[in-house]
A and B are shown apart, each in its own frame.
Chain A
Amino acid sequence: MAVPSNQHFFIDPSRCIGCQSCVQACSECDTHKGTPMIHLEYVERSISTQTTPVICMHCESPTCAQVCPADAIKKTEDGVVQSARKPRCIACNNCVLACPFGVPKMNAGWELMTKCDMCYDRTSEGKKPMCATVCPSQALFFGTFAEIEALRPRSRPVNEFRFGEQLVKTKVLMMVPRGGLTEVVDVTAAMHGATPQRTVHLDLMMSGVFANAAEGK
């Protein structure tokens, strides 16, 4: 069976609250029970509570599969890039290092790469992936284009990403502001941005004892 062609995965990292529900639920999936495949990390905890869930984006031409020396990574006809084939994977780590999104995980003990397979045990049966079902902020959403359009009037989905000179097209879509003109998300441009500022400030009126102490008075 295959993932229904009208069902799509939409991600919106700006909604993420870092609760790790997706991580905990991911380890309940039958294709990788006990081992979560999704990544959820703080972007830079010392300055922000921003977190980001990273699932496999299921590239149309997956870099991971191409750099695999063992031909171990295959895409099924529904566009899902599967975990490495167990008989073939030789645990070389090429995919882990080459994936532009940082998705594959190396399980050293098993000598096997494992990665998000869009909960193939669920999606191939017409269910939603575990992470997108439980996600309390719906930073991870699984459904149809009609559904996402109705739910997110301020955003629109994009599935082309630029990394330096390389353009990567993916099955999974990311929500970007509707107003913007970009058709391609320039991921590596974010690398060189000036020191990020917050829209949310600790705009404080400091008075009393501590203010003096903090200012070294």
Chain B
Amino acid sequence: MRIRAEKLKAAAWGTFAAGVLLVAIGMGSRSLAHFDAALVAYTFATVFATFGIIYRYAMWLQRPPTAMYFKRGWQVFLSPRFLMRNLAVWCQRLVLTFVFNAFIFRRGRARWGAHWLIMWGCLIAVAITFPLVFGWIHFETVPGHLDRYRVYVFGFGMDEFPIQSLKAFILFHGLVWAAILVIAGVMIAMYRRMRDHGAAAVQQFGEDFLPLILLFAISITGLMLTASYTWMKGYAYDFLAILHAVTVIFTLLWLPFGKFFHIFQRPAQLGVAFYKDIGQRTQQACCKRCGEPFASLMQVRDLVTVEKQLGFNYALRPSPESDAIHYQEICPKCRRALLALAQGELRAASTGQQRWQ
């Protein structure tokens, strides 16, 4: 019953988001006046992807640990006492974590290089293509100045520049640059995955190779389109356009399922950081066996709640020798010792001797 309710709720959210997107497309393109009919397949794929992503996101948020973190994350972030400080720290973390991927840099240079290039390539590509597809951005020659372009965002004229300028060259080849970044990143990632024995042991085709292949296919077919109309007088352009569309649409449809979903999950990392910050500043939980502090009391209590919601019952049986009521009050180090001590108890019981120590 619970699962079904969750699913319904998630589906509602997904439908709602897809609806909002459709409305935005309608309005942004001035009732489809600037909508490029050739891109209709892309649009539908995007709408489906939006539904899928929001559905999955909603399902995810309903999992007890995620819900707890989601709630706590916003609570601690918005707590009036720390809001200004949180905002400052958030900006700093956004730059380090998101812009530079500092944590991946520490995990490994090659891994970082691959991720950073792919991430920025994709971001640039998304920033260009989606608004174009939705008709949120379009370009028109300035009336009376055939050598000048004007940019329209949501139908409002914004910027104006000469067609032959460097700015125009850079802008109109934005997708080429994005493709080059992505291909470079994919190459590094592939190279690493093909050689590294550690990666080889745990990688899976669907999880680890398919995303790379998709990104590569999108980028290379996109580049071929550019090559076709720039140097080859549009040779096989239509075929390439369909090929490109197929790769993109497949990727869009794949977004909610595979590795790409981390794009939407990952920002939670920033929220968790605030949870940890506040945890450090507030009361610590001390282990009921050794007395040493080992985690924030808030997190320990939240875990007790979450475990209960998940159907675990780590409640301890009352004992005159300890006031511990839940196993969550025992630190990981003591937990490690307990296994050996428990085995010692059994040996002692079986031999009738006192326990080994």
Residues of A within 8 A of B324 (CB): 191
Contact status B346-A177, CB under 8 Å? yes
Contact status B357-A47, CB under 8 Å? yes
* A69 and B339 contact, Cβ closer than 8 Å, known pairs A90-B269, A96-B332, A121-B200: no
* A43 and B347 contact, Cβ closer than 8 Å, known pairs A30-B198, A111-B103, A187-B342: no
Instruction: Tell which of B106, B332, B349 has the most Cβ of chain A within 10 Å.
Output: B332
* A14 and B265 contact, Cβ closer than 8 Å, known pairs A50-B356, A164-B317, A197-B354: no
0/1 string, B330-357, CB within 8 A of A gives 1? 1111111111111111111111011111
Residues of A within 8 A of B355 (CB): 193, 196-197, 199
| Residue count of chain B within 8 Å CB distance of chain A | 74
Picked from A70, A92, A120, the residue with its CB within 8 Å of the CB of B202 is A120
0/1 string, A177-217, CB within 8 A of B gives 1? 11110100111111111001111100000000000000000
CB distance from B180 to the nearest CB of A (A): 23
Contact status A174-B343, CB under 8 Å? yes
Q: B79: CB under 8 A from chain A?
A: no
Name the interface residues of A138-175: CB closer than 8 Å to any CB of B. Answer: 161, 163-166, 174-175
CB distance from B318 to the nearest CB of A (A): 10
Q: B128: CB under 8 A from chain A?
A: no
Q: A112: CB under 8 A from chain B?
A: yes
A43–B229 alpha-carbon span in the complex (Å) = 72
Contact status A41-B333, CB under 8 Å? yes
Q: B322: CB under 8 A from chain A?
A: yes
Contact status B339-A52, CB under 8 Å? yes
Residues of A within 8 A of B336 (CB): 39, 41, 52, 54, 101-103
Residues of B within 8 A of A180 (CB): 346, 349-350
Q: B313: CB under 8 A from chain A?
A: yes
Contact status B63-A163, CB under 8 Å? no
* A196 and B313 contact, Cβ closer than 8 Å, known pairs A93-B299, A179-B350, A191-B330: no
Q: B312: CB under 8 A from chain A?
A: yes
* A102 and B259 contact, Cβ closer than 8 Å, known pairs A43-B357, A48-B357, A69-B68: no
| Stretch of B4-12, B218-226, B237-245, B300-308 that contacts chain A | B300-308
**In the complex, which residue of chain A has the Cβ closest to the Cβ of B353?**
A199
A-B contact count (CB 8 A): 232
Q: B201: CB under 8 A from chain A?
A: yes
A146–B200 alpha-carbon span in the complex (Å) = 31
Residues of A within 8 A of B343 (CB): 12-14, 174-176, 185
Q: A137: CB under 8 A from chain B?
A: no
Contact status B107-A86, CB under 8 Å? yes
Contact status B357-A196, CB under 8 Å? yes
Contact status A101-B354, CB under 8 Å? no
- Provide a sorted-by-A list of 16 A–B residue pairs whose CB atoms are within 8 angstroms: A13-B339, A14-B343, A52-B337, A67-B310, A69-B63, A86-B107, A90-B269, A92-B272, A94-B306, A98-B303, A100-B335, A110-B107, A161-B342, A164-B317, A165-B313, A193-B341
Question: What would 4 more interface pairs be, CB under 8 Å, given A63-B307, A102-B334, A200-B356?
Answer: A13-B343, A31-B201, A51-B340, A82-B202
User: Residues of A with Cβ closer than 8 Å to B?
Assistant: 12-14, 16, 29-33, 39, 41, 43-44, 47-48, 50-52, 54, 63, 66-71, 82-83, 86-88, 90-94, 96-103, 109-112, 117, 120-122, 124-125, 161, 163-166, 174-180, 182, 185-193, 196-200
Q: Which 6 A-B pairs have the closest CB atoms?
A: A177-B350, A102-B332, A52-B340, A121-B201, A102-B335, A87-B262
